Structure 1
């Protein structure tokens, strides 16, 4: 599976993605609003990568590696998954993203997430997608708003007690805002 946008390639994962992804997951500033805020080891990132690939095999959608078209550099990831960490929203599919700091503030998350949403609605047959972010993660909330998502609720993640916002968009709403 491969998607292309003006600046990005969204693709399945490769073995050589582990090192740059581990660097992203090991950055305390990147991980500040993820889960309980802990950084991940290379081994934890490797386990997460295997899980992301398994998601594709099990559901036909998943988390894309996001690379810059111009350089081939791995910027991070964006894609669709089941948010099992927040049982109160299930059944649901979540759009999420994580980028390395050099790629922040350049519209890459919005561009990648928009492509992944388009795929989810057009190719994976989804009717509704949510996104979840820590209540203080204003950059992610801006991306959600740019995508046309609307807030549904605020709640707390049971495993670590962090307060989060849940936003959502339907296929029809996405089509109206982004031209199908």
Structure 2
């Protein structure tokens, strides 16, 4: 089983005990406002998310990790790698993404987990390049992306919802430099 430990976090695969805490995170309109069309997700939709992420682990060798606090074992969200289906022109890429519960914002957890995931992508999985996609205006995610050393590639319009998205990239040579 793939696990990553950081000074404060455990990134691991999903288990049955994660469904309710993740569904509570997904039920928060502030958490979900930048994701997809911005709608909250119920318990069944959250179960579908976890199932899809676990299938991606099986199919691709990567996916979204469950993120828990080492000190308490509390699930605080998800971070990981995915093939971005929101933009067909980037369907051949691997994107880093994250979603944390609101009580855990502003404490550096997203940056800590994303940095560990980027290292996993480039060093453990041997990827040459990783992208990040965020909605323009989501300054908090933009800050995490900058901390990872990713560069803006371009802005594109998300076809399904019409949101302006910003695509960022980093490759192995930039990461190791």
Deviations 1:119-143 (A, max 9, x none): 1111111000000001010000000
The CA deviation at 1:30 is 0.3
Deviations 1:120-171 (A, max 9, x none): 1111110000000010100000000000000000011111111110001001
Q: Secondary structure of the equivalent of 2:121?
A: helix
Match of 1:139 in 2: 140
Gaps of 5+ in 1: none
Distance (Å, rounded) in 2 between the aligned partners of 1:5 and 1:63:
16
The CA deviation at 1:94 is 0.2
- Residue 110 in structure 1 maps to residue 145 in structure 2: no
Match of 2:173 in 1: 172
Deviations 1:58-96 (A, max 9, x none): 011111000000000001010000001111223100000
| 1:1-180 correspondence to structure 2 within 5 Å | 1-176=2-177
Distance (Å, rounded) in 1 between the aligned partners of 2:48 and 2:78:
15
The CA deviation at 1:174 is 1.2
The CA deviation at 1:39 is 0.6
Distance (Å, rounded) in 1 between the aligned partners of 2:37 and 2:163:
7
Distance (Å, rounded) in 1 between the aligned partners of 2:172 and 2:68:
26
Normalising by structure 2, report the TM-score: 0.98
Q: How many residues align?
A: 176
Deviations 1:5-29 (A, max 9, x none): 0000000001000000000111000
Q: What CA RMSD, in Å, does the superposition of the two structures yield over aligned residues? A: 0.7
Moved over 2 A (4+): none
Q: Secondary structure of the equivalent of 2:119?
A: helix
